[in-house]
Structures are given as structure tokens and as C-alpha cells.
Amino acid sequence: MRPSIVTAGLIMVWCLTTTMGSSAVSADDAAIVSEAAPVLDVVTLKDGSVIHGEVVEMTGGLLVIKSALAADLIKVKWSDVSKIAVSHPLPFHLKEGTILNGTVEEGDPGTMRVKAGPSGDTMTVPMDAVTQVNPVIQSPVIYTGSINAGYSQSTGNSSLRNISVVGDLVARSEQLRLTLLGRYVYGDNSGSLQVRNARGTIKLDFFITKRLFWFASAYVENDFLQNLKLRTAIASGPGYQFIERGDFKGIFKDMTFYAEAGPSYFNEDYRDNRLTDDRASFRARVAMKWDWPLFDGRVVLYHYNEIFPSVQNASDFFFTMDNGVRMKILAGLASGFQVTTRYNNRPPAGTGDTDNLYLLTLGYAFDTTRKR
């Protein structure tokens, strides 16, 4: 009997120990799972749909949520949101300029309860009073531009050498935009000069509103084969930014376009006045610039023109136009192809009225715009 009693006792102790150990492990596992599981943000739309995930930002009237089910980003209109709950602190920018940094609890439809400040005070905020949520803060001045160069040389039966350098720089702040454009082209054949042309534009825009601006510009050009010592055009007038970054969505989101016009003083000095007399006149200046970055700026299509029609005779005008594409290869390394057209219906003696220049270049492109 005694062995049986002892055996039964041992079995009972073993069962109790196993049960308690299993319960302890299960409790520990549950605690670990509970600690590891993130608290999701909740967005309730006016149509009753509910989205669980992580609120990333809201700019331009679009709320971006990282889905809890996948790494996909979901974008919904802020005006379609009825309720929102955010578990991690975010900066909420209001219309009057106030910035509330905190978490959010659901409120009545169309409102949210923001817990902000060290004390965690809760305040009810109408959702239509929010202009941005967690926006990317840009530098006071954003720089974009490129410098590209091309070189070719042949020896043997022919001795040709061609050099081209093309560059542009745009520095943009809230109220000012500085634009610099430059180009230099040189070519010779066995030491005999074939082409030597240099051109540059400097322009400063002062923004009166977010779209309307006033510009002041200077255009200079030198062309040895056209007997041109210096062509100068000084202009000033109004301009308008018709398309700005963020106006459109999808592949058009980074597109920009502006146009400007104003009076101009136009002067041409020639090397040999026996061939062509110096000229000076008052003209108009009309210019347009269009840029279309694609694939997050890896490919950029662009167009820029300046037209200087005579005030006295509209058929008398000078016109220059750049069309091209720039492609990022690796990091800042970029390749570009540009076609430059120049038309002068009163060309210097012994020259034609139209010149086309085709440039294939390699260089460096940069953009200091901050992106998430």
C-alpha cells in the first residue's frame, strides 16, 4: 500500500507543477505579445469605413496612412475624415498658425481631442481648422540645379575638337527666387575656329503673393563667328507661377510652370562695324519656363524660352529656346541632352537667321528639397 500511496502522491505533485508552469509560461507569453503589439492609429471616414495603421502626414488636403496589413501607403482626403485617433505624438498645424504637438483621441464627428503639452491637457479641435499634420520642414532656401559638360576629339584624317558646358541654378526662398542659366560652346578644326558662343541669364523674382511675382533680368551673349561682341537685354515686369509643386498628383506632382513679360532694353555691340552697325532698341520680353520631374526626379523634362519682339515692328524679334531631358544615373551623377534654338530675323551680315545646337552632356545634378 505504501508504495502505491507514495507513487500517487508523486504523480499529483508532478501534475500540479506542470499545470502551474504552463500557466506561468502562458501568462508570460501573453505579456510579451501584449508588449510587442503596437497601438494602431484609427481613421474613420464619413462613409463609415475604418482604416487601421500609422498616420504619417497630411499635406495638401491628403492624409497619408501606413496600412497595418501591409507596407502600402493609403491616401484619403482630409475632408472625408470623420474621426481620428493617433497614438504617437505628431505636430498639428492650425489655420491661425498654432502648432499642437501631441496625441489624438476620437471626438465627435468632425472634431478631435488633442492631448498636447507637458501636462497632457486635452483640447477639442475642429478638423477643418487643421491645415497640415507632420509636414516635412524645408530649409529657408532650397537649391536646385545642374552642371554638365561634353567633350569630343578626333585625330588622324581630321582634327576636330568640341567642348560644351551647360549649367543652371535656382535658389528659392519664400519671397525670392534667383535663377542663373549659362552655356559655353567651343569647336575647332585643326586649330581653325568653328564655333565659340557664350550665353547667360541672371534673374531675380520677388513674390508679391504665392503666385504673382515681379522679375528683373539680364541676358548676355557673345558669338565670335557672328561678329557679335556682346548682346545685352535688361528687362523687368510681372510674372505668374501657374503651376507649382504639389498642384497636381501622381506623375504631375512635381511639375512647375511660370510665364512673365515686361519691357526690355535690347543692345547689340559688334566687333567690326564695317560689317554690321551696333544696334539698340526698346523691346518687350516674354519668357516661359516649364519643368517636369518624373520618377522622383530621376528624369527631368524641361523647356525655357525668351522672346524679345520689337515695340516698333512686331515682325522684328530675337528668340532663344532650350528643350531637353536630364537623367540621374547614380546619386548626383546625371546625363543630359539639350537642343538650343536661336532665331534672329535681323542676323549680322553673312550669317543665317537660325541656329540649332545639339548637346549631349554628363555632369552633376542636385536638389536640396527635403523629402520624407
pLDDT band at 2 (very low <50, low <70, confident <90, very high): very low
Q: Specify the pairing of strand 228-243 against strand 256-270.
A: antiparallel
By mean pLDDT, which of 151-155, 172-176, 338-342 is the weakest?
A: 151-155
With pLDDT > 70 as the criterion, what percentage of the chain qualifies? 90
Q: Which three cell numbers stand for residue 293?
A: 520631374
DSSP state of 18: H
Fold classification of 41-133 is: SH3 type barrels. (2.30.30)
Report whether pLDDT(22) > 90. Answer: no
Span 13-18, average pLDDT: 48
> pLDDT value at position 1?
43
b vs e for 235-261, b when ≥16 Cβ sit within 10 Å of the residue's Cβ? Answer: bbbebebebeeeeeeeeeebbbbbebb
* H/E element, 344: strand 333-344
> pLDDT value at position 183?
93
Pick the CATH number of 142-367 from 1.10.287, 3.40.1440, 2.40.230, 3.30.70: 2.40.230
Burial class (CB in 10 A: 0-12, 13-18, 19+), 147: middle
Burial class (CB in 10 A: 0-12, 13-18, 19+), 195: middle
**Neighbouring C-beta atoms of residue 71, cutoff 10 Å:** 6
> pLDDT value at position 19?
46
Structure confidence by residue, pLDDT tens digits, 321-332:
999 999 999 888
* Average pLDDT score over the chain: 87
CB 41 within 8 A of CB 56: no
Which residues lie closer than 8 Å to 129 by C-beta, 6 or more apart? 94, 95, 96
Structure confidence by residue, pLDDT tens digits, 241-266:
999 988 887 899 899 999 999 999 99
Which residues does residue 203 pair with via DSSP β-bridges, in sequence order? Answer: 179, 217
pLDDT band at 38 (very low <50, low <70, confident <90, very high): low
> pLDDT value at position 12?
53
The amino acid at 303: H
Span 127-134, average pLDDT: 92
Domain range annotation of the chain: 41-133, 142-367
**C-alpha gyration radius of the chain:** 33
By mean pLDDT, which of 5-19, 50-64, 99-113 is the weakest?
A: 5-19
Report whether pLDDT(29) > 80. Answer: no
Question: Up-side HSE of residue 153: CA atoms within 13 Å toward CB?
Answer: 5
Q: Is 113 helix (H, G, I), strand (E, B) or coil?
A: strand
